[in-house]
Amino acid sequence: GQQLNQSPQSMFIQEGEDVSMNCTSSSIFNTWLWYKQDPGEGPVLLIALYKAGELTSNGRLTAQFGITRKDSFLNISASIPSDVGIYFCAGLRTTDSWGKLQFGAGTQVVVTP
């Protein structure tokens, strides 16, 4: 079954606003990943996190690996229209190999001008 709870399910925001989403789990994860999926495309990796407490940025995107190792957060600052898409969190539990990546259900982001 699904291990990760991702919220919110969807967000409708105005251009220029900041966006925050998170992912939580009852299990400990040793790797957290954030992906973006554009319409009609496969997911593309945005940020990878490997240590508890780690804070990593990629342009206007910032993600954090929660210190409990059971959650992660993604922030998008000053959103622009091309930020539209579905954002997925994904994680690897300590006992799983890379082949057992778990995904959240996704956050649909819609940006209006």
Partner 1 sequence: EAQVTQNPRYLITVTGKKLTVTCSQNMNHEYMSWYRQDPGLGLRQIYYSMNVEVTDKGDVPEGYKVSRKEKRNFPLILESPSPNQTSLYFCASTASNYGTDTQYFGPGTRLTVL
Q: Choose the stretch contacting partner 1; rule: CB under 8 A; options: 14-22, 52-60, 71-79, 91-99.
A: 91-99
Is 26 near partner 1 (CB under 8 A)? no
Window of 11-19, 29-37, 53-61, 65-73 that interacts with partner 1 by CB under 8 A? 29-37
Site map for partner 1, 1-20, x if CB under 8 A?
xx-x-x--x-----------
Inter-residue contact 32 to 13 (CB < 8 Å): no
Burial 9-47 (b: 16+ CB within 10 A, else e): eebebeeeeebebbbbbeeebbbbbbbbeeeeeebeebb
Q: Where do contacts with partner 1 occur on this chain (CB under 8 A)? A: 1-2, 4, 6, 9, 30-31, 33, 40-45, 48, 50, 88, 90, 92, 97-106
